[in-house]
Structure 1
Amino acid sequence: MIYLGGEAEVVIGEVVVKKRRPKRYRIREIDEILRLRRTRTEAKLISLARRIGVPTPIVLDVEGDTIVMERIYGTPVKDCMSEEISREIGRLVAKLHNANIVHGDITPMNMILSEGKIYFVDFGLAFVDNRVEAKGVDVHVYFESLKAGFENWESLKKAFVEGYLELGKEEVIKRAEEIEERGRYVERRLK
């Protein structure tokens, strides 16, 4: 299977091969530097997340703009979401944030349930940041993905918050709510 994303081409076979694609609108030399740097950062953060207890694929090789990873067999979380799963996602995101890892794209599309564990499989937008604002945006992205994909999004959000607060900081949840309010304010102003 081949998936073309905004940043990369992903080939899924016995292993997963993710190759960042060149951006034609960038100066070639700058594009190459950015792709190499982002690939290395992604591989490092996948490995760091795994070391702190967040299930991720094992990075098998990194060369240039390409990462080769273990393939995780299982069910996409978007297809089996429940309050229990959302609560566990909250715990795992809190672990990431406690290590100052901001995922950048926390959605059920980027997680696989396998053998009772939730694997985070895409760290393409991840970065290191200790600011509450960055972590709040991370949580807000998850909340928005719940609203867009699930009728019972409110109970899933509540379960996530419960899980997050077992290990994480309340100020991050409050910031996510402030970010949501900012969005509502802008929405009201545009009407």
Structure 2
Amino acid sequence: MNLTNGAEAVVRVEEGVLIKERVPKNYRLKDLDERIRKERTKAEARLISEARRAGVPTPIIYDIENSTIKMQYIDGIALKHVIDEKLSEQIGILVAELHSAGIVHGDLTTSNLILFNDKIYMIDFGLSFFEGSIEARGVDVHVLFRTFESTHRGHEKLIEAFCRGYRKEFGQADEVLERVKEIEKRGRYA
């Protein structure tokens, strides 16, 4: 069963295992393309594993081969369909744990957060990277807040709940949340 075809990868499920395969880019030299896809695949798997070690529920990595990751399929529901203030506060805690581990997700949206057995799983680390700066963390949170604003009713309450959870677990939360406000202003006047 194919789940999605994106610009970077094809994602499918076979026998209960999620398979994410980075697709070749014909505009790149073949050797360079293979190297880039392998490196990005390894980096993504490493980031997923590091996030899991930091306490963030993520899929379990089963295997990495060339440009393909085989991992646990989380058969839940995307938070975009069920989000409420309680779940948003939990997201704040998870993002705090991720940021405390020096990881920036890069694509924090309610489509990349899955609810399964009353636990929120973070998925799709394809744009993730190791970074400890306030700016990178602020951009990460800003992307999530933009998702709340563009796709969810009562987004102000969701943002407030997220901030409560984020502040509970992350010592630099206030600095990051102040940076989010600065980033928002930059976008408004650009």
Q: Same fold (TM over 0.5)?
A: yes
Alignment-derived partner of residue 98 in structure 2:
96
**TM-score after normalising by structure 1:** 0.95
Query: Structure 1, residues 67-106: CA drift from partner, whole Å, max 9, x if none?
Result: 0001112111111100111111011001111111000000
**TM-score after normalising by structure 2:** 0.95
Matches of 1:31 and 1:148 in 2, distance apart? 35
SS in 1 for 2:111: helix
Matches of 2:157 and 2:13 in 1, distance apart? 33
Segments of structure 2 that go 5 or more residues without pairing to the other structure are: none
Deviation at 1:26, TM superposition (A): 1.8
- Aligned residue among 174, 178, 181 for 1:174: 178
- Aligned residue among 178, 185, 189 for 2:189: 185
Amino acid of the structure 2 residue aligned with 1:79: H
Amino acid of the structure 2 residue aligned with 1:137: V
Q: How many residues align?
A: 186
Alignment-derived partner of residue 189 in structure 1:
none
Alignment-derived partner of residue 165 in structure 1:
167
Deviation at 1:22, TM superposition (A): 1.0
Alignment-derived partner of residue 5 in structure 1:
6
Matches of 1:9 and 1:73 in 2, distance apart? 18
Matches of 1:72 and 1:27 in 2, distance apart? 35
Deviation at 1:27, TM superposition (A): 2.1
Query: Structure 1, residues 134-175: CA drift from partner, whole Å, max 9, x if none?
Result: 111000000111111112111111111111111121111111
Segments of structure 1 that go 5 or more residues without pairing to the other structure are: 187-191
Alignment-derived partner of residue 150 in structure 2:
148
RMSD, matched Cα = 0.9
Which shifted more, 24-33 or 61-70?
24-33
Alignment-derived partner of residue 135 in structure 2:
133
Which shifted more, 21-30 or 151-160?
21-30
Alignment-derived partner of residue 31 in structure 2:
29
Give identity over the alignment, percent. Answer: 49
Please say if 1:56 is aligned against 2:58: yes
Query: Structure 1, residues 109-150: CA drift from partner, whole Å, max 9, x if none?
Result: 011101111001111110001111111100000011111111
SS in 2 for 1:130: coil
Name segments (4+ residues, structure 1) moved above 2 Å: none
SS in 2 for 1:109: coil
Matches of 1:30 and 1:174 in 2, distance apart? 40
- Aligned residue among 66, 69, 75 for 1:67: 69
Amino acid of the structure 2 residue aligned with 1:46: I
Deviation at 1:19, TM superposition (A): 0.2
Amino acid of the structure 2 residue aligned with 1:182: R
Deviation at 1:24, TM superposition (A): 1.6
Amino acid of the structure 1 residue aligned with 2:9: A
Matches of 1:176 and 1:27 in 2, distance apart? 39
Which shifted more, 80-89 or 165-174?
165-174
